[in-house]
Structure 1
Amino acid sequence: MSIAIQGELGSFSHEAALKMNPQATILPCSLSAEVFAAVERGEVEGAVIPIENSLAGSVSEHFDLLLRHTVAIERESLLRIRHNLIALPGSTLGDIRRVSSHPVALAQCRRFFEEHSKITATPFYDTAGSVKQMMEAGDRSMAAIASAQAASQYGGEIVLSGIEDDPENYTRFFLIRRRDRLQPDAHPDKVSLAFAVENRPGTLVAALEVFASQGTNLIKLESRPVPGRPWEYVFYADYQLSDPEAADAPLKLLASHCSMVRELGRYRAAAGAV
């Protein structure tokens, strides 16, 4: 299976893609919009995208792109995020004076920088890309924070492992495919959807009451602004299914309260993270 990811080879998205499909051929893309376009045009069979981190929250851009493109969620997976200090082979902690990585990764390793005040944190566009840049520079005073996959991909050496502040650090990933190529799960227990309500008193409450009336466990709800329409919002929700046969009922009832309802995926919830 060919899978597109945003970022360089060796990124956490690369690791998540291989977890979902160990034999996958990975296509790295610079921008998330390129990932979705590659799926929609049929250049790849699917894409693996991060949608939510347990510490940093949701990847808002990916919600917007899910709604904009003719793709759907086929599977989800949880990945335990382990940040590693990676340097040139043979380098020691005492050699390092500058560490680069994605701003989110740097923020999740604040304790490391507090304990090593002589080391400067430098933001970079991508975790794996920071390892690639460091290896190309060949400077022992440089290091990067990234996954073990990135160290293996570019020949770096892990100086310190697990330097993240909080070990309960997980990212939820979606495997998305074009809707006409979707291979749905035979036993889904979770639905993701988007809906919009009219800007009138009580409309959002009425929409939420649909889930309560059906005994549906609504486990996630967040809003995103509608481009070009100030102060109007699209709501993204996840709900659990006790009975797959009952999945359609909330969607049908929502239609009577909403100006737009779109199912983004019906799949099995990830069992655990590795």
Structure 2
Amino acid sequence: MAASHIWVSPLRPHSNVGVSDLGLRRCVDMRCNWDLERLPRWECCCLSVLAQRAITPVEDEKPLIPQVETSEAIDQVQDTQSRGFHKDLNLLPKPLSATDIFSSPRNSAKVRVAYQGMPGAYGEAAALKAYPKCETVPCEEFEAAFKAVELWLVDKAVLPIESSVGGSIHRNYDLLLRHRLHIVGEVQMVVNHCLLGLPGVQKEELKRVLSHPQMVAASGERDSGVIASDRAAEIYGLNILLEKIQDDDDNITRFLILAREPIIPGTDRPHKTSIVFTLEEGPGMLFKALAVFASRDINLTKIESRPQRKRPLRVVDDSNKGSARYFDYLFYIDFEASMAEPRAQHAMAHLQEFASFLRVLGCYATDSAL
């Protein structure tokens, strides 16, 4: 198997984050040829990349409808078709819940990718874009997907991190720090909201529109429509009445691919690195942090600040007005450089000099395909 390298920062004594948060280990791969002499504060962690196999799912067989002669029988068949276009909706995978996480068996023969939502959700489409032959596993909540990867129930998780319309998914930023998973890739998906209805129904017949395709397919109500993806129409046996009904045509959601182990950073294609850090109190500290990238011509593509949950407030003494309380923040940054590049290594070493906590969340290839 190939060995992978990722740079992590040691923890300073006064930090409130445990050593386990950084997962420090000695380098056992003597092939690591980065400039370690100039970066004494860094250690190289060598982690094995797990072998994976993908199995193409078998398409559902279409049930045969026997020929009928009487008009009564014809009406009966048409009524059956109008009420259930996916014959076995109950056979669709059920989303994993927090309880299921500790009881579900894992089939190691298939590449399994977790996502949040029901079959037909955009998260499932993102998983299939990243791994076209994977077995998708729906989860009720974002955290259930994180836990499914940690407990080896699935191999990867594909979860949204930001939207061009709605902004950042703050919940997943918090979960990235809480769980010990690594970002190994990203997927950008164009959101295409469609108006779906039962076969044979015209949009003028609709009296109400829902947001759950399974309800419309199961109930068979001809005056009910649904807003969902084109994949949902295929899964639940619905027809697309209108496409691209969203207000913003440039509605793009960015998803992160999470795994238990990091990947080998390369330089053969554009890479992105995601980090999180905290800073000491003082004037210009954030400016200094950003300057370590600007001075090395490294472009920042994302910066996000989140209050620390365990220590949300910081008390600062002020000789004129007594003590003051400020929010204590975590800073999440994405920058366009691979950790295999010396400029990225030196920037991280420089940042570590005045960051009280620093963690590399992942180094991965940039997704430019829409």
What TM-score does the superposition give when structure 2 sets the normalisation length? 0.63
- CA displacement at 1:98 relative to structure 2: 1.8
4-13 vs 240-249, which moves further:
240-249
Pairing partner for 1:156 from 235, 238, 246:
238
Q: Secondary structure at the match of 2:282?
A: coil
Aligned counterpart, 2:333: 237
The one-letter code of the counterpart of 1:232 is D
Aligned counterpart, 2:187: 77
Pairing partner for 2:367 from 247, 265, 270:
270
Aligned counterpart, 2:54: none
Aligned counterpart, 1:67: 177
Distance in 2 between the 1:256 and 1:185 partners?
Answer: 23
Q: Secondary structure at the match of 2:204?
A: helix
- CA displacement at 1:248 relative to structure 2: 1.8
Q: Secondary structure at the match of 1:63?
A: helix
- Alignment CA distance shift 1:168-1:197 (3 Å): same
TM alignment of 1:1-274, pairs within 5 A: 1-101=111-211, 130-179=212-261, 182-187=262-267, 189-230=271-312, 231-241=327-337, 244-246=340-342, 247-273=344-370
The one-letter code of the counterpart of 1:235 is F
Distance in 2 between the 1:28 and 1:63 partners?
Answer: 20
- Report if the CA contact (8 A) 1:74-1:184 is conserved: no
Distance in 2 between the 1:206 and 1:183 partners?
Answer: 29
What runs of 5+ residues in structure 1 fail to find an aligned partner? Answer: 102-129
Q: Secondary structure at the match of 1:153?
A: helix
- CA displacement at 1:242 relative to structure 2: 7.6
- Report if the CA contact (8 A) 1:194-1:234 is conserved: yes
- Report if the CA contact (8 A) 1:134-1:143 is conserved: yes
- CA displacement at 1:12 relative to structure 2: 0.5
- CA displacement at 1:43 relative to structure 2: 0.9
- CA displacement at 1:68 relative to structure 2: 1.1
Identity rate, percent: 39
Q: For residues 181-221 of structure 1, give each alpha carbon's deviation from its aligned partner in whole angstroms, at most 9, with x where no partner exists.
A: x3335335211111111233222222112112222111211
Distance in 1 between the 2:265 and 2:210 partners?
Answer: 40
- CA displacement at 1:54 relative to structure 2: 1.3
- CA displacement at 1:244 relative to structure 2: 3.8
Flag the structure with larger Rg: 2
Aligned counterpart, 2:60: none
The one-letter code of the counterpart of 1:199 is E
The one-letter code of the counterpart of 1:249 is H
Runs of 4+ in 1 over 4 A off after TM superposition: none
Q: For residues 84-134 of structure 1, give each alpha carbon's deviation from its aligned partner in whole angstroms, at most 9, with x where no partner exists.
A: 001122221112122223xxxxxxxxxxxxxxxxxxxxxxxxxxxx11122
Q: Secondary structure at the match of 2:136?
A: strand
Distance in 2 between the 1:21 and 1:189 partners?
Answer: 19
Q: For residues 52-72 of structure 1, give each alpha carbon's deviation from its aligned partner in whole angstroms, at most 9, with x where no partner exists.
A: 111111111111111111111
What TM-score does the superposition give when structure 1 sets the normalisation length? 0.84
The one-letter code of the counterpart of 1:250 is A
- CA displacement at 1:260 relative to structure 2: 1.0
- CA displacement at 1:11 relative to structure 2: 0.6
What runs of 5+ residues in structure 2 fail to find an aligned partner? Answer: 1-110, 313-326
Count of aligned pairs: 243
Distance in 2 between the 1:66 and 1:243 partners?
Answer: 19
Q: Secondary structure at the match of 1:259?
A: strand
The one-letter code of the counterpart of 2:264 is P
Higher helix share goes to which structure? Answer: 1
